[in-house]
Structure 1
Amino acid sequence: MYDLKLQKINLKDYNERQEVNEFLNKFDLILDNDVDYTIVLRDKGNKIAATCSKAKSVFKCFAIDPKLQGDGITSKLITDLINKSFEEGVYHNFIFTKPKNIEIFSSLNFKLIYEVEKVALLENGVYNINNCLNNLIKKNNINITQKKSAIVMNCNPFTLGHKYLIEQASKQSEEVLVFIVQENKSLFPFDVRYSLVKKGVAHLRNVKVVPGTEYIISSATFPSYFLRKEDERLQAYTKLDANIFGEYFCKKLNIVRRFVGEEPYCNVTREYNKALKNQLYKYGIELEQLKRKEINDTIISASKVRELIRNNEIEEISKFVPRVTLEFFNTDKGKEIMEKIKYSNSPH
């Protein structure tokens, strides 16, 4: 172990990335595009003997030569990643790994959140999922004795379709919690999405709009770095996310029903809805899937609104979004985001 040399990889250098990728390929792994820090341990012959990476708070892409496994290499890699996180002011981290590695990471003070057949999510740091939920309850004055429904939305941007789904849930529930996806990977940033929804449903007294936290639909729960096939990645992600929601959010917040809109187009959302139905059932949670709202035989969706923005069909947008979203589009920040959308190829 002491003959190994630690090296930081220049992720902008194609050859260095390629060398890491080739090493990872031996373990049926890949180097994710979103990693922001990668290190390797090189042997006497300058060949990679071990590697790991991180993407913000998520540790990923671990691989160690079998001859070195069990020789304290994992601890050395983890220590370096934690130190790097501390430098960046991040004091809470996730590890997404295969279930067979749970014991290794548990010995390094990582706590298991949940595991399914192919993946496990662990965390370490200044708080954990239970602390996070306790803070959510306190900050938003959530009455955990009252049965409630839940909706998870991205709202990129907030549309009449989102508003319709929330209103329908409101009519059928004592209380509704609307979780806005907190991951900032959308064209509309979290603070904008959260604010628009909150203003847009302020008239519904039994609805509370709250942040989705790091534990609902986030990069912390997507195992793209070690499950190679798209269908396996999708199944693992949806199953894990659904179980974390059932095991922690539903039990802690007294959620008995979750509302979703039916999904005729997006395969990812459609598979996610299936996983929710199959997994939440075992927690006694009902999944209510509602038909999507339409305008002139066109389903209202955020992607449709972004398409109209790209095509500069500004007058058409008013048919698909509530007044609060239209008013935002007329602000300086709104105009700036619309300009970005016009020149963006991002589906998000």
Structure 2
Amino acid sequence: MYDLKLSKINLRKEEERKEVEEFLNSFGLILDKDVDYTIVLRNNVDKIVATCSKAKNVFKCFAVSPDLQGEGVTSTLITNLIDKSFEQGIYHNFIFTKPKNIDIFSSLNFNTVTKVDEVALLERGIYDIKGTLKNIIKKYDIDVNKKRSAIVMNCNPFTKGHRYLIEKAAMESEEVLVFIVEEDKSLFPFKERYGLVKKGVEDLKNVKVIPGTEYIISSATFPSYFLRKEDERLKGFTKLDANIFGEYFCKELNINNRFVGEEPYCNVTRAYNATLKEVLINYGVEVTEIKRKEFSGEAISASRVREFIKEDKIEELKNLIPEVTFEFLNTEKGKEIMEKIKKSNSPH
């Protein structure tokens, strides 16, 4: 290979970060804000000729100068990222790339999860999506011969609106699987969100509450959900996530209907619902949109609950959240989260 030098970028140094951003921009790419490790290859005049980054276990932001493509540069970059992941105790990785690059990464033992026009998702490591679904079937005693519905929720926190949607699905389905988004980027941590929903629907005997895994609305499948800003990549990520759900979850778990709440406020979620309808029909799956439960003429939402907490309207919260959530907010952990919400400017 050419006389190239591999080096790590100090992401805290604006000058170094900007140099990588400019290199990526020349390929129509950006350096995502969540990257925690970036490496570059430089030529003999110290100019960047290749780069890649990772955000936890997701590899992304790849670019290689055209004259170096096919010279084993990608293998050098990937090997370094895998080594870094191992060093951090991470043994399973995803790669975001353009569909035209699938063959390059397949040769490095990555398997394609799914692809859409704009982006492809591949994985490599000690488990995969099919194995994950087999574990879900076994752990939650799922009869794959029975038709069922599904709901995907973040529940940040669990509201009367969430409870209402689950009740509606339970009334119209033989069984409902409620997947709680596992990505920990919300003000209410996954452990608490999952526990509240599980306890809050335990009277509904045909409902099973299941962790969403890395394959449903995660940094790997749908980073825009957490960025909450619209850009040209949003459609690609929504299609990617919807395809994974249809191709794997619906097929393996015999899901024929996905229930969603009507979305009057958030553009990202509204776009996501529209994409689900567009994509899941290709897998023979219906998408049922339910009008949101309201209070005082306004749809109940988790963001409204967080606004009430911010404004210290604690007693009024009883109109928006079930007893299980209200009780949790009065625990030490709940009070700690409420304090974080009052100090936070984040929508999550």
Provide the residue aligned with 2:147 in structure 1. 147
Answer whether contact 1:38 1:51 (CA < 8 A) is retained: yes
Structure 2 unmatched ranges of 5 or more: none
Q: What is the SS of the residue equivalent to 2:319?
A: coil
Deviation at 1:296, TM superposition (A): 1.4
Answer whether contact 1:6 1:42 (CA < 8 A) is retained: yes
What amino acid sits opposite 1:241 in the alignment?
D
What amino acid sits opposite 1:178 in the alignment?
V
C-alpha distance in 1, partners of 2:195/2:160? 15
1:60 maps to 2:53: no
Deviation at 1:322, TM superposition (A): 0.4
Structure 1 unmatched ranges of 5 or more: none
Deviation at 1:169, TM superposition (A): 0.5
Alignment of 1:84-123 (within 5 A): 84-123=84-123
C-alpha distance in 2, partners of 1:39/1:230? 28
1:208 maps to 2:214: no
Provide the residue aligned with 2:263 in structure 1. 263
Alignment of 1:82-231 (within 5 A): 82-222=82-222, 230-231=230-231
Instruction: Give the CA RMSD over aligned residues.
Output: 1.1
What does the per-residue CA deviation read over 1:208-241, in whole Å, with 9 as the maximum and x for residues that have no partner?
A: 00000100101102377xxxx9443111111111
What amino acid sits opposite 2:93 in the alignment?
N
What does the per-residue CA deviation read over 1:148-206, in whole Å, with 9 as the maximum and x for residues that have no partner?
A: 00000000000000000001100110000000000111000100000000000000000
Alignment of 1:184-333 (within 5 A): 184-222=184-222, 230-333=230-333
Provide the residue aligned with 1:74 in structure 2. 74
Q: What is the SS of the residue equivalent to 1:151?
A: strand
C-alpha distance in 1, partners of 2:344/2:138? 39
C-alpha distance in 1, partners of 2:231/2:8? 32
Deviation at 1:339, TM superposition (A): 0.3
C-alpha distance in 2, partners of 1:120/1:80? 21
Answer whether contact 1:223 1:233 (CA < 8 A) is retained: no
Q: What is the SS of the residue equivalent to 1:155?
A: coil
Structure-1-length-normalised TM-score: 0.97
What does the per-residue CA deviation read over 1:236-277, in whole Å, with 9 as the maximum and x for residues that have no partner?
A: 111111111011000100001000001111111111111111
What amino acid sits opposite 1:347 in the alignment?
P
What amino acid sits opposite 2:79 in the alignment?
T
Answer whether contact 2:177 2:208 (CA < 8 A) is retained: yes
User: Where does structure 1 differ by over 6 angstroms across 4 or more consecutive aligned residues?
Assistant: none
Q: Per the alignment, do residues 198 and 277 of structure 1 end up closer, same or farther by CA in structure 2, a change over 3 Å counting?
A: same
Structure-2-length-normalised TM-score: 0.97
Deviation at 1:128, TM superposition (A): 0.7
Q: What is the SS of the residue equivalent to 1:268?
A: helix
Aligned length: 344
Q: What is the SS of the residue equivalent to 1:94?
A: strand
C-alpha distance in 2, partners of 1:232/1:255? 30
